[in-house]
Amino acid sequence: MASELRWMGHGTWLISTKSTHILLDPFLDDSPVSPVKSSDVPADYILVSHGHFDHVADVEKIAKRTRATVVANFEICQWLGAKGVEKTHAMNIGGGFDFPFGRVYQTIAQHTSMLPDGANGGQPCGYLLTLPEGNVYFACDTGLFLDMQLIGNRGIALAAIPIGDNFTMGPDDALEAVRLLRPKRVVPVHVNTWPLIAQDPHVWAERVRREGLAEPTVLEPGGSIMME
C-alpha cells in the first residue's frame, strides 16, 4: 500500500502509511477550511512544527483521545506533558530519529513559536520524513532560507511549501524555494485559510510548471496525493 498524504487545509496533513497514521500540525476544529473535526481523525503520531495556535490548537485533545505520541521540540513536549499528554518524543533541529513508520528529521524554519498562553515554544522547525517511497519535506511555516539547498541535497520526492505570504513565504520566495530544494513534486500550502493569506495556487503552480522546476499539484482541503 502506497503512502497517502491528505491535506486538511492550512498547514495540517494526515499521512497514512501501511500501518500508521501521522498528523502534522492539527488545526481542525477552529479552521475555516478544514473538512473534518479533531474527533474524526486517527493518529498514531502527531508532529508539531511550532507553537502557534493554528498549529497546536487540537494537539492535546487528539493526543489524549488516541494516545498518539507527539513529536515536537523539547519546550512544546514539556508544555503538553504539563497538560496531561502522556506520550511525547522531544527532538531538536538537526536531529533525526527512526520511528516504526520511517525516519523523522527536524530542519530549521525561519519563523516564531510562542505558545497560545504565552509560554516559550522553543525553535520552530520543518520536517523531513523518510517514507518507503522517498523523502517528503514539510517546510511548515517559514521564510526562504539558503539552507534549503542542503535539504534538497538529500533528495526530495515531494515538498509542501507555504505560499500565503505575510506570515510565511509568498509566491515569489516559494518559487525560489523550489529552485533550491529541487523536489520531484511540490504542493502549495498555508494559503487561503483567511483573506490575509489569499493567493491563487493554480497561478503559482503554473509558474513552477512553466520553469520546469517540479511537477506541481494543487489540492483542495481534504484532497490527497499518493506517493509513487
pLDDT tens-digit profile of 109-163? 999 999 999 999 999 999 999 999 999 999 999 999 999 999 999 999 999 999 9
Question: What per-residue confidence (pLDDT) applies to 80?
Answer: 98
Q: Output the CA–CA distances (angstroms, integers) from residue 51 to 43, 77, 175, 197, in the order listed.
A: 19, 10, 26, 19
Q: What is the pLDDT of residue 30?
A: 98
User: Comparing C-alpha atoms, which of 124, 127, 139, 147 is closest to residue 51?
Assistant: 124
Tens of pLDDT, residues 13-63:
999 998 899 999 999 999 999 999 999 999 999 999 999 999 999 999 999
In tens, the pLDDT along 69-120 reads 999 999 999 999 999 999 999 999 999 999 999 999 999 999 999 999 999 9
| Type of residue found at 181 | L
Q: Write down the pTM of the prediction.
A: 0.98
- Which of 47, 39, 89, 90 minimizes the C-alpha distance to 64? 39
228 pLDDT tier (thresholds 50, 70, 90): confident
Per-residue HEC secondary structure of the chain comes to: CCCEEEECCCCCEEEECCCCEEEECCCCCCCCCCCCCHHHCCCCEEECCCCCHHHHCCHHHHHHHHCCEEEEEHHHHHHHHHCCCCCEEEECCCCEEEECCEEEEEEECCCCCCCCCCCCCCCCEEEEEEECCEEEEECCCCCCCCCHHHHHCCCCCEEEEECCCCCCCCHHHHHHHHHHHCCCEEEEECCCCCHHHCCCHHHHHHHHHHCCCCEECCCCCCCEEECC
pLDDT at 1 over 80: no
* Average pLDDT for 184-212: 98
Q: How far apart are CA 145 and CA 6, in angstroms?
A: 26
pLDDT for 102: 96
pLDDT at position 117 is 98
Question: Considering the domain 4-217, what is its CATH architecture?
Answer: 4-Layer Sandwich (3.60)
pLDDT at residue 6 in the model: 98
Averaged pLDDT, 179-187: 98
